[in-house]
A and B are shown apart, each in its own frame.
Chain A
Amino acid sequence: MKTFKIGGVHPQENKLSASEPIRQAPLPQVAVFPLGQHIGAPAKPIVSKGDVVKVGQPIAEAGGYVSAPIHSSVSGTVLKIDTVIDASGYAKPAVFIQVEGDEWEESIDRSKQLVRLEEHPELTDKDIIAKIQNAGIVGLGGACFPTHVKLSPPPGNKIEWVIINAVECEPYLTADHRLMLEHTDEILVGTTLIMKAVGVTQGFIAIENNKPDAIRLMTEHARAYTGIEVVPLKVKYPQGGEKQLIDAVVGRQVPAPPALPASVGAIIQNVGTAYAVYQAVMKNKPLFERVVTVTGKSLAHPSNLMTRIGTPMNLLIDECGGLPEDTGKIIGGGPMMGKALVNTEVPVCKGSSGILIMTGTDARRAKPGPCIRCGKCVTACPMGLEPYLLADGAAREMWDLLEHNDITSCIECGSCQFTCPAHRPLLDYVRIGKSTVTGIIKSRS
């Protein structure tokens, strides 16, 4: 069975909510839309206080090419444009909307009827990309890179494959898994749309073999589509990392930054993004809701919720049985790469794949000891780096050493810190080193 070649770890999977069907999350009273919920320039608000908006109506336009518009996920009145603490922990400008009813834009096709690409032969690659751009779609795996930019690789790159990332290698998260089981054909049509947009005839859907039901279902349904192959992968973290996934599926490695995956002929899209692309192109539905896994060992009912963007997370936690007494940490995303939240009012953004509740005992880090030089971090690193050296160099501010040892290649997957027997905060240090060295390199040019 295929997997990536260098490094990797195997955290406990803990997919508590894997058998929970996706259900609709309740509507919030006030929905909050941070303007910077994607990589690139923040969106610019186009509504003001007192405006009445419908579900799916744009409330902020893209702030540049690498940016994305934001659509209201609720109907109601704009309360204010103020700051809110988002998943990053910083206060960011946001649009607040008082929810009144649930009135959708008429242009959105709310029927369940599947529309295949063959029914719309008039769609060109440019039409598809334009619709994706207007729908505000960004990478839903968590990176939130605007999808239309990714689908328009710089000239000179010959794209050969589209790889749909359905690996979901983060422990606990099951949103992508459920989406595949419940919206199989929509994902496959979304994949054909992405393939058409970048002009390739070969698409892969990569799924780790801890989801045999999804592999079986997707493989069966994929027979009705030309050029789509389901690739089962051996379970290994961080297989969902773009670079690792390309290596695992087609056996090519992307050169060091600033090279893009496109330079080896691959475009990666998350399976949730493929679903959103289908909704945007075939149903005229902008990106304003997504599946969020709400989970945790202490949580009464771990669930997968179809959630409107802007819903505060405490509403979702209440929907799943309420915040347990002994909660020590709330993580936006999965346990390996997610961010610890500072409060529970943080709104769900486009990139929020999960909310993980950890008890106080689980959440506390063990006391670090001295490095015993066992080399386990080196073995674990999927980028072939030496985390012990990078962490040590960062602590000593030896920026030259870090640059020569390729610290900028670090993908911050956390495998090194996860595996360290001495519980050393390796990635904390590597992050400091990486951002400093990146700054030094930038200041040179």
Chain B
Amino acid sequence: MANQLIVSLSPHVHSGDSVQRNMYGVCIALLPALLCSFWFWGLGAILVTTVSVASCLFVEWSVNKFMLKNPRLTITDGSAVITGLLLAFNLPSNIPLWMVGIGALFAIGVVKMTFGGLGCNLFNPALAARAFMLISFPVEMTTWPTTGQPFTTYADAQTGATPLALIKDAVKTGDASLLDDLPSAFDMLVGATGGCMGEVCALALLLGLGYMLIRHIITWHIPVSIIATVFVITGIMHWMNPVFVSPVIEILSGGLMLGAIFMATDYVTSPMTPKGQLVYGIAIGVLTVIIRTFGAYPEGMSFAILIMNAFTPMINMYCKPQRYGAVEGSDK
């Protein structure tokens, strides 16, 4: 009997939380937006999503199987599924499928696995792949089919400008009347507008945020700080000069909600402490507004997040949690 006893150090119990619970929790949170994209773009959206998730899983499995000395089965941890879903969310629904495969290869093969797999990547794999595809396939990546065509084949879909492109034109030409073509804030909330598959329906994304907060998968710090920062800065700009669009439209447009809720909150590439997360969120907000207003691209969210991903180790180094018993002024 005695030699059968397990002897290990405390603690002897565990919360029951697991990587899978968190990862698949994120997948569940992504469902409302996913269903919206299926509703808006039907076949195209389903095909792009399926190809994206399947290629991400396949690339991760292949790297493990054929390239590592100690192969591990990591595709069940759910992180590759999230990358696949998020990559699809960042693509137009009519993009040629082979490009989706290349994107998945870059996301998982280059950005994630070469750095050591789950937990080791510097950049958000889905976002880095989006940036890579934006440079590699500029036309296909910026042609947005309008919503409500679930039954056309993806190649024949009607396309249209995104709200952000209109906003950019208004700023460039200084002609505020261009903003009259913008969809209403309500249309943008429910997603009746052009854009990437996952980003158009802010309401569905906010549902996902609520779910992740209730399940304690993420904390409020990053999404709230990003959205609030963008709202405040664009609010001031709009108040000073109406050629800048109202802050409500600004936070509902483009990938802001998607980025703030699902991209910037990626565990691996965001800071660990609440203080660090606020710094990170505010910086993403500021960078987004700068890129959207002054940059060459109409959309700034993904680049802002990628830039701040690079600063995350530094933020972790400087933004320490508040130590117990730290007396003011006794900084060491």
A residues neighboring B (CB under 8 Å): 6, 9, 11-12, 89, 171, 243, 247, 253-256, 259, 323, 327-331, 333, 335-344, 356, 358, 360, 362-366, 369-376, 378-379, 381-386, 388-389, 405-406, 409, 412, 414-415, 417-423, 425, 427-428, 431
**B2 proximal to A (CB < 8 A):** yes
Is the CB of B8 closer than 8 A to any CB of chain A? yes
The answer to whether B21 has its CB under 8 Å from any CB of chain A is: yes
List B contacts of A373 (CB < 8 A). Answer: 119, 267-268, 270, 272
Query: Which of B59-67, B156-164, B324-332 is the contact stretch?
Result: B324-332
Residue B140 at the chain A interface, CB threshold 8 Å: no
Residues A11 and B119 in contact, CB atoms below 8 Å apart: no
Asked whether, in the complex, the Cβ of B272 is within 8 Å of the Cβ of A375, the reply is yes
The 15 listed contacts between A and B (C-beta, < 8 Å) are: A253-B326, A256-B323, A328-B4, A329-B5, A329-B6, A366-B18, A372-B118, A373-B270, A374-B267, A375-B267, A375-B271, A376-B17, A384-B321, A386-B320, A386-B321
* A417 interface neighbour in B11, B271, B324, Cβ under 8 Å: B11
Q: Are A375 and B273 in contact (CB under 8 A)?
A: yes
Please state if B15 and A9 are interface contacts (CB–CB under 8 Å): yes
Q: Are A336 and B325 also in contact (CB < 8 A) when A89-B7, A373-B119, A375-B273 are?
A: no
CA of A79 to CA of B79 in the docked complex: distance in angstroms? 63
Given that A9-B15, A372-B118 are known contacts, is A340 also in contact with B267, CB under 8 Å in the complex?
A: no
Chain B residues with Cβ below 8 Å from A11 are 13, 15
B219 interface hit (Cβ, 8 Å) = yes
Q: Are B5 and A343 in contact (CB-based, < 8 A)?
A: yes
B261-303 contact mask (Cβ, 8 Å, vs A): 1 or 0: 0000001101111100100000000000000000000000000
* Contact A379:B274 (CB < 8 A) given known A335-B11, A373-B119, A384-B323: yes
- What's the A-B contact tally at a CB cutoff of 8 Å? 163
Nearest B residue to A380 via CB reads B15
Query: Chain B interface mostly helix, strand, loop or mixed?
Result: loop
Q: Is the CB of B7 within 8 A of A340?
A: yes
B62-104 interface with A by 8 A CB criterion? 77, 79
CB neighbours (8 Å) of A335 from chain B are: 10-13
Point out which of A171, A370, A425 has the most chain B C-beta atoms below 10 A from its C-beta: A370
B322 at the interface (CB under 8 A from A): yes
The CB with the most chain B CB atoms within 10 A, among A335, A338, A372, is that of A372
Q: Is the CB of B19 closer than 8 A to any CB of chain A?
A: yes
- Name the A residues within 8 Å of B7 (CB-CB): 89, 329, 340-342
List, in ascending order, chain A residues with CB within 8 A of B270's CB.
373
Nearest chain B residue, comparing its CB with the CB of A14: B13
- Using A337-B11, A372-B268, A420-B17 as known contacts, list a sample of 8 further A-B pairs with CB atoms less than 8 Å apart, ordered by residue number in A: A11-B15, A89-B7, A323-B1, A374-B267, A375-B267, A386-B273, A389-B316, A420-B14
Give the residue name and chain of the B residue nearest to A358 (CB).
B12
Q: In the complex, are the beta carbons of B8 and A340 less than 8 A apart?
A: yes
Shortest Cβ distance from residue A6 to the other chain B in the assembled complex, whole angstroms: 5
Query: 0/1 per residue, B1-43, Cβ < 8 Å to A?
Result: 1101111111111110111011000000000000000000000
Bound state CA distance, A328 and B77, in angstroms?
Answer: 28
Q: Does B117 contact A (CB under 8 A)?
A: yes
CB distance from A208 to the nearest CB of B (A): 17
Whether A336 and B11, one on each chain, are in contact in the complex, defined by CB atoms closer than 8 angstroms, is yes
Nearest A-chain residue to B217, judged by Cβ = A374
Closest chain A CB from B256 CB (angstroms): 23
Question: Using Cβ atoms and an 8 Å threshold, which residues of chain A touch B13?
Answer: 11-12, 171, 335-336, 362, 418
Q: Which residues of A contact B320 (CB under 8 A)?
A: 386, 405
A423's closest neighbor in chain B, by CB? B14
Q: Which residues of B contact A247 (CB under 8 A)?
A: 324
Contacts of A243 in B (CB 8 A): 324-325
B12: A residues at CB distance < 8 A:
329, 331, 335-336, 338, 340, 356, 358, 363
CB-nearest residue of chain A to B9: A428
Q: Tell me the bound Cα distance from A188 to B291 in angstroms.
A: 67
Q: Is the CB of A419 within 8 A of B17?
A: yes
Shortest 8 CB-CB contacts between residues of A and residues of B: A414-B11, A375-B272, A384-B323, A370-B119, A253-B325, A374-B267, A335-B13, A343-B2
Q: CB < 8 Å: which of B117, B274, B324, B330 contacts A409?
A: B324
Query: B267 — nearest CB in chain A belongs to which residue?
Result: A374
Distance between Cα atoms of A341 and B8 in the complex (Å): 9
Is B207 in the interface zone, CB < 8 Å from A?
A: no
Please determine whether A254 and B325 come into contact, CB atoms closer than 8 angstroms: yes
Minimum Cβ distance to chain A for residue B218 (Å): 9
Q: Which residue of B lies closest to A340 (CB)?
A: B7
Given the complex, which residues of B lie within 8 Å of A419, measured CB to CB?
A: 15, 17
Closest to B272 in A: A375
Cβ of B248 under 8 Å from chain A: no
In the complex, what distance in Å separates the CA atom of A272 from the CA atom of B7? 28
**Which residues of the other chain, B, contact A259 by a CB distance below 8 angstroms?**
325
Set of chain B residues within 8 Å of A253, measured between Cβ atoms? 324-326
Complex Cα distance, B10 from A329, in Å, reads 12
Query: With A337-B11, A344-B2, A375-B273 in contact, do A384 and B322 touch (Cβ < 8 Å)?
Result: yes
Give A171 to B14 CA distance when docked, in angstroms: 12
Q: How far is the CA of A406 from the CA of B330 in the complex (A)?
A: 14
Residue numbers in B under 8 Å from A364 (CB-CB): 6
How long is the Cα–Cα vector from A328 to B6 in the complex, in angstroms?
6
B5 and A328 contact, CB distance less than 8 A: yes
Smallest CB–CB gap between A5 and chain B, Å? 8
> How far, in angstroms, from A335 to B79 measured CA to CA in the complex?
31
A337 CA / B9 CA spacing, docked (Å): 8
Question: Which residue on chain B has the smallest CB distance to residue A264?
Answer: B325
In the complex, chain B residues whose CB is within 8 Å of the CB of A415:
11
Contact between chains at B323 and A409 (CB < 8 Å): yes
Chain B residues whose CB sits within 8 angstroms of the CB of A427 once the complex forms: 9-11
Q: Measured between alpha carbons, how far is A17 from B199 in the docked complex, in Å?
A: 53
A370 with B321, Cβ < 8 A, contacts A417-B11, A421-B17, A427-B11 known: no
For the complex, what is the distance from the CA of A383 to the CA of B6, rounded to whole Å? 29
Are A388 and B272 closer than 8 Å at their CB atoms? yes
Task: For A389, list chain B residues within 8 Å (CB).
Answer: 316
Min distance, Cβ A218 to any Cβ of chain B, angstroms: 28
Nearest-neighbour CB distance to chain B for A153, whole angstroms, equals 17
CB < 8 Å neighbour of B6 from A171, A254, A363: A363
Known contacts A343-B5, A372-B119, A386-B272, A255 near B327 by CB under 8 Å: yes
**Closest Cβ of chain B: how far from A396's Cβ, in Å?**
15
B213 at the A interface (CB under 8 A): no
Q: How far is the CA of A422 from the CA of B79 in the complex (A)?
A: 13
Say yes or no: A414-B10 contact (C-beta < 8 A), given A369-B19, A383-B323.
Answer: yes
Task: Kindly state the separation between the CA atoms of A362 and B8 in the bound complex, as whole angstroms.
Answer: 13
Q: How close is A199's CB to chain B, nearest CB, in angstroms? A: 25
What 0/1 readout, one digit per residue, does chain B (101-133) give for beta carbons within 8 Å of chain A?
Answer: 000000000000000011110000000000000
